[in-house]
Amino acid sequence: MFLMVLIYSFFLSLWLVFQNPLFDSYFVPGNVDCYANYAKTIFNPEHLAKVLYWGESILMPLIGNLVGASQTFIAYKVFCATLLISILPVLTLVCKLYGQNTLQTLLVVTIFGFSFKLLQTAGLGYPDPLTILLLITAALSRNKVVVFLVMSLAALSHFSMAAVGAIALSLLFFTTFEFDKKNGLRFGLSTLAGLLFGRALLELWYRHFEYIHTNGRLEAVFDKGIPFFIHQYQAEIGGFWLTPGMPFLIIYTCILLYLLICKHYLFVCTAVIVLLFSYGVLFFTVDGLRGFAVTIAPAYVYLLATLSKSLFNKTTSTPRSK
């Protein structure tokens, strides 16, 4: 039965990814090529990588270089597409490995797949799929060492987004009704420790290759200034709030209502704060959905998995263990 769900997740992921009307355009040379070029020179970074924000995302270009995907533009894009298509199958595996039964896994994967808009709109070449894969693994892992390791890697993949995702996920760990606060605290601290360790590794990389600007996306925010982002928001206020898509917003609202009905008031407040974090990222970027999706992904997966267990009357079994 589980094998059927895994196969289903793979074909659902394929179908969703190929719904992107711009999918073929990403294989045209010059389209989102900064990371493809970065992968070629990852061990001898050019000046732009040392001064621009994308220089903080070293993991995917590094892996692309090591596996040979950086040899051609098309090969790198196939590598990126493979990571994107892997999101739902990996989510299926981590759901099953870390406490979800087959029906719960099917529910989580289906809801996430159809409501997570990025799967149908992602541009190939960005480090988002790898970052999401690592963050959702951290969200559902029952092993504190695994949480630490994957969060460290997420920091190397996309530090700024991983930082927001880690903080949001830690808040959920600290306030969840699914397991005792002691375990929640431990997993939250493992998440934050992994993030800090990843940042330390990133700093060592910067020093070794003599990077000039090491504040990544934060540097880009300072360069543009607050008035730029306010003007960007005011130009399309409705579009800003609807960026995640109606399916996501409806599902998230249902989650909040369910938590309210069950009187998990602290948890629902945390879920609202987490959502506002991602809207904050959306406000301070020019990338639209990308920043929102990456930062909300681990919290969204955790909420779906937690509520699926509750709906199946398994609230007494904890999704994690020591």
Angstrom CA distances, 58 to 34, 37, 293, stand at: 12, 12, 20
| pLDDT at residue 286, rounded to an integer | 83
d(CA 156, CA 202): 6
DSSP-assigned states of every residue in 91-138? HHHHHHHTT--HHHHHHHHHHHHHH-THHHHPPBTBSHHHHHHHHHHH
Residue-range domain boundaries for the chain: 2-311
pLDDT reported for residue 31: 87
Report which of residues 224 and 103 the model is more confident about. 103
Of the pLDDT bands very low, low, confident and very high (cuts 50, 70, 90), residue 317 is: very low
Mean local confidence (pLDDT), 309-320: 58
Written as six digits, the tokens of 100 are: 């979800």
* Amino acid residing at 129: P
Contact 244, 117 (CB under 8 A): yes
- pLDDT > 70? residue 316: no
pLDDT digits (tens, 9 = 90+) for 73-127: 999 999 999 999 999 999 999 998 877 789 999 999 999 999 999 999 999 999 9
Judge whether 27 and 124 are in contact, CB under 8 Å. yes
Global confidence as pTM:
0.93
| Per-residue confidence (pLDDT) for residue 126, from 0 to 100 | 93
Nearest to 165 by CA among 112, 202, 197, 128: 128
Tell me what pLDDT residue 180 has: 64
Q: Let me know: does 104 contact 154? Beta carbons within 8 Å.
A: no
Rounded Cα gap, residues 128 and 296, in angstroms = 12
Task: Give the tokens for residue 219.
Answer: 């540097």
**pLDDT tens-digit profile of 125-176?**
999 999 999 999 999 998 899 999 999 999 999 999 999 999 999 999 888 8
> What proportion of the chain, given as a percentage, has pLDDT over 70?
93
Looking at residue 127, its pLDDT comes to: 94
**Higher pLDDT pick, 254 / 51:** 254
Beta bridge mates, 126:
124
Instruction: Indicate left, alpha or beta for 125 from its phi (over 0: left) and psi (-120 to 50: alpha).
Output: left
pLDDT digits over 39-65, tens only?
999 999 888 888 887 888 999 999 999
Residue 283: its H or E element: helix 265-283
Structure tokens at 111: 């809801």
